[in-house]
Amino acid sequence: MTLVTLTTDLGEQDYYAGALKGAILQQCPGAQLVDITHAIPSHDMVRGAFILKNAYPHFPEGSIHLVNVHNFYAAERRLLAILHQGHYFLGPDNGIFSLVFDQQPKQARILPDDGTGLLSHQEVLARAIAHLAGGTPLEELGEPLNSISERIHLRPVVSASQIRGTVVHVDKFENVIVNITRELFEQVRKGRNFALYFKRHEPITELSAQYCEVPMGEVLCLFNSAGYLEIAIHMGKAAGLLGLAVDDAVRIDFI
């Protein structure tokens, strides 16, 4: 059985996600389809990449991950098949894969259409899924690609005593996730005390391991299961109550 995950900004209220699934099942009836999410905000590649990047490692190797975020149906957008760390990835070459991977993938192919332009993008991708499910090597799916399109995204700015980061995601509980990893935090911290500043609020100076380590309604910070810094409120909605949103700046001073 072929496992195919779907990460899209198609939503659930229209027929688009259903049509995509139908196209896949027409070409590969035995596929097991797993929705990672169809609720990515429209065209938000940063959010889509963040979710896929932190979801796909939990699937078995050999899984196929189809991503459809931002201008999926643009006629000029070439479609790619990629093999990276034992997983297959399919989607448009619009820069999203450069946000998912920490380095350029070594194995990438450009998926061909039928030469007439009559095949829709979802049909091209569904056909690629069927080929991979049938054991066709990636090398036979299309012409090789030396490098995928890159999208510049904000990385933390680091100095000897400070990290400046950015909010990259707000989850359904309104926990605020920052693009600072535990590894980077500890690397710069070197055992020192810290103060986490955001907006005009009082800084957070303690690192929690769990939400319940502070009283209900209190603000805290911790590293979540994906290893990213998170600002939260115990049993509360941090984003709304603290006025934090994607792209807001966060600063950590080490003392």
Domain assignment present for 127:
yes
Q: What distances in angstroms separate CA 76 from CA 94, 115, 160, 179, one per listed residue?
A: 10, 14, 45, 32
Does 130 lie in the same domain as 28? yes
Does 209 lie in the same domain as 132? no
Q: What is the pLDDT of residue 114?
A: 61
Does 125 lie in the same domain as 25? yes
pLDDT in tens, 126-140: 999 999 999 999 999
DSSP state of 135: T
pLDDT in tens, 62-119: 999 999 887 555 545 689 999 999 999 999 998 999 999 988 998 999 998 765 454 5
Position with higher pLDDT, 12 vs 73: 12
Domain assignment present for 16:
yes
pLDDT in tens, 144-160: 998 898 887 778 999 99
Into how many domains does the chain fold? 2
> 183: domain CATH number?
2.40.30.90
Backbone angles phi, psi at 97, to 5 degrees: -70, -25
Does 28 lie in the same domain as 110? yes
Q: What is the pLDDT of residue 103?
A: 87
Q: What is the pLDDT of residue 242?
A: 96
C-alpha angle 18-21-26 in degrees, rounded to nearest 5: 125
DSSP state of 236: B
Residue type, 9: D
DSSP state of 138: G
Q: What is the pLDDT of residue 119?
A: 53
Q: Calculate the average pLDDT of the chain.
A: 92
Does 52 lie in the same domain as 138? yes
Does 73 lie in the same domain as 29? yes
> Within 13 A of 233's CA, how many CA atoms are on the CB side?
15
Does 140 lie in the same domain as 21? yes
pLDDT-above-90 percentage for the chain: 80
CA 89, 92, 96, 97 dihedral sign is positive
Does 175 lie in the same domain as 104? no
Does 134 lie in the same domain as 164? no
Q: What is the pLDDT of residue 152?
A: 77
pLDDT band at 3 (very low <50, low <70, confident <90, very high): very high
Domain boundaries, position 225 = 157-254
**Residue 234: is its pLDDT beyond 70?**
yes
> 92: domain CATH number?
3.40.50.10790
Closest to 89 in 3D by CA, of 74, 104, 71: 104
Q: What is the pLDDT of residue 113?
A: 73
**Residue 33: is its pLDDT beyond 90?**
yes
Does 134 lie in the same domain as 166? no
**Cα 125 from Cα 130, distance rounded (Å):** 9
- Tell me the mean pLDDT in the region 13-32: 93
> Within 13 A of 194's CA, how many CA atoms are on the CB side?
24
Q: What is the pLDDT of residue 121?
A: 82
